[in-house]
Amino acid sequence: MESRKGQSVYVQNESKTMKALPLSERPYEKAEAYGAESLSDAELLAIILRSGTKNCSARDLAEEILLTGEPPGLRGLLHRALPDYREIHGIGTVKAIQLACIGELSRRIWKESVFLEAPCFTHPQEIAGYYMEELRHKEQENMKLLILNQKNRLVKELDISKGTVNAALITPRELFIEALRFRGVSIILLHNHPSGDAEPSSADRLLTERIGKAGALIGIPLLDHIIIGDNSYVSFREQGILDP
């Protein structure tokens, strides 16, 4: 009885492994025979994970990750951080880091695919498009300082605030010291609204007014302040909130 019982447990566990699947359903073999494009989202993720747990194959684990994401599917990989992945049974530190890197790589690939060289930021739509995939999934407000040269090409991108944008904590002095350090001719402020609504807040307006006035005095104008929502944006320049 005990041996049969042990054998049944072994068979049950073995059925959860990739080797128990038909050759046509194994992600590695399927990719080799038909190309990576033939794989489902879960199969692609399973290849990166490489292994599952004692009772869960890499593909089953990948499916669980995708199904429990917020939102579900591949977009969920852009929202989760290391602590979120560690809460999933079967995901340790190494796999959590791998998954976080997938999201970061996706964001960087998107940005590089938009521009092959240093982007030229002439129109708000271009700027919003360049940063949309990076920022619209963030669960905290992130503010960036974009430093441009005389041709409106990006010289340097700096993260200057994370969390609620507080006008009192972001001083013009610090921003323009950085702009001068990188020999910037003009600057642009950019941040996201995690709510998805890109409408400027009173704090956004106050900060923009302060930075705009300081830039006019120093000779490094604030060209725009752009707020990223969920597939939407608001440009202070386009809205006429920022004086020309």
Separation between Cα atoms, residue 15 and residue 12, nearest integer Å: 5
Mean pLDDT of 114-139: 79
**pLDDT for 49-108, tens place per residue?**
888 887 888 888 999 999 988 878 888 887 788 888 989 988 999 999 999 898 888 877
Q: What is the pLDDT of residue 18?
A: 59
Give the span between the Cα atoms of 216 and 65, in whole angstroms. Answer: 50
Where are the domain boundaries for CATH 3.40.140.10 in the chain? 117-239
Query: Which residue from 141, 106, 146, 142 is spatially nearest to 126, judged by alpha carbons?
Result: 146
Q: Which residues of 155-188 are buried (b: 16+ CB within 10 A; e: fewer)?
A: bbebebbeeebebeebebeebbebbeeeebbbbb
CATH placement of domain 117-239: 3.40.140.10
Give yes or no for residue 166 having a pLDDT over 70: no
Could you give the residue ranges of the DSSP H alpha helices within 120-201? 124-135, 172-181
What pLDDT does 185 receive?
A: 96
Structure tokens at 200: 């400027």
Mean pLDDT, residues 124-133 taken together: 88
Question: 175, 211 in Cβ contact below 8 A?
Answer: yes
Is the overall model pTM greater than 0.85, yes or no?
Answer: no
**174 pLDDT higher than 50:** yes
The pLDDT tens digits of the residues spanning 189-244 come to 999 999 999 999 998 999 999 999 999 999 999 999 999 998 899 999 999 888 65
Question: In a 3-state reduction of DSSP, which class is residue 160?
Answer: strand
Q: Given this model, what pLDDT does residue 30 score? A: 86
pLDDT tens for residues 94-124? 999 999 898 888 877 776 665 555 577 889 9
